[in-house]
Amino acid sequence: MVPRQRQTDRGPGQRVGPGDIAALRSVGELFRTLDHAYGGGHARQALVRYLEHEAEPMLRGTYGETTGRRLFAAVADLTRLAGWTSYDIAAHGLAQRYFVQALRLAQAAGDRGYGAYVLLTMSRQAVYLGHGREAVQLARVAQQGIGSAAPPLVQALLHAVEARGHAVLGEARSSTAALTRAEHALETARPGDEVPHWARTFDEAQLADELGHCHRDLQQYRAAAQHAERSLQLRAPAYARSRLFCRVVLASARLGLGELEQACQLGAEAAQQAAEMRSARATEYVRAFERSLEPYRDAVAVRGYRDRVAALG
C-alpha cells in the first residue's frame, strides 16, 4: 500500500503554534543570508513561493492574541524581505507594494519599531533612485514613529539613513549633522542594550559604509575613501554585496582624487564580483563607475579596465 503524502500547503483554520513562527524566522534568516552573499535574484522566487504557500495561509489559521502578534510580525519580516529582493533586481514598483504590505502587517502586529524599519528600507530605495527629498521624509517619519526612547543602535541607524538622503540632495550641512548624530548614538551603544533583531547588524562597518557613500555623493573624496577603506576592513565576507558597493565607492573616491590606476583596479574587482551575483544594484553600481571613466577613456589604465571586464563575458 502506498502511503498518502502529507498535505504541504496550509488550509484556513489550521492551528498556528510557536514552532510555526520559529520556522518563519529561520526561513527569513536563510533568505537574508543568500541575499547578502549572492544578490536578491538568487532566491527571490523561492521566497515569494514560501510566502504564498506557507506564511500567508498561516494568517488565516487559528491562534491566540499573543501568537497572532508574533505571527504577523514574522510575516511582515518576510514580506519586507520579498520587497528588498525585488528592489535588488530593479522591480521597484513591485518592491514598493511589498513594503506597503509589510507596513500593514507590522501595524497589525503592533510593532511600531518594525514599521519604522520598513520606512527606512523605503528610504534606502528612494536614495538609490535619486529621490533624496522623499528619502529624507521617509527617514524622518520613521524617527517619529519609533520615538526618542529607541536604543542607541536604532537611533544610529535612523540618523544614518536620513544622512544618505541629504547627501543625494547635496545638502552637506544637514547630511553631516545627521551623520554626527549617528556616530554619537553608536558610540553610546552598549552590548547589553535590548536591540530589535532588524537593527543588530548595524555596526561600525555599516556606519563607515554610510559615511563613505555620503561623502562620495557630496564629492568629498578624501573622506569618502577613508571611510570606505575602513568599512572594507571591518565588514565580514558574508556581506559580499555590501562589500562590492563599498569597493565601488572607494573606486569613485580614488577617481575623484585623480588616482586613476587605483580606481580602475578597484572597479575591476567590483565588476568581477558583480558578474557572480544576481543583483541589478550591483550591476548598476559598476556601470555608474564606468560612466565616470568616460573622460579618461583613452588612458592606459582605463583600456586595461575595459579589457578585464570584457574578459568576464
First-to-last CA distance in the chain?
54
Task: Report pLDDT digits (tens) over 106-115.
Answer: 999 999 999 9
pLDDT at 4: 36
DSSP 9: S
Return the bridge partners of 15, or none: 62
pLDDT band at residue 1 under the 50/70/90 scheme: very low
Q: Rounded to whole angstroms, how far apart are CA atoms 81 and 44?
A: 9
pLDDT exceeds cutoff 60 at 299: yes
What is the rounded average pLDDT of the residues 56-63?
95
Q: Rounded to whole angstroms, how far apart are CA atoms 105 and 108?
A: 5
The answer to whether 248 touches 282, Cβ cutoff 8 Å, is no
Phi and psi at 6, nearest 5°, equal -70, 135
pLDDT band at residue 192 under the 50/70/90 scheme: confident
Question: Which of 226, 120, 117 lies closest to 165 in space, CA to CA?
Answer: 120
pLDDT band at residue 8 under the 50/70/90 scheme: very low
Q: Is the dihedral of CA 157, 162, 165, 171 positive or negative?
A: negative
pLDDT at 11: 53
pLDDT band at residue 35 under the 50/70/90 scheme: very high
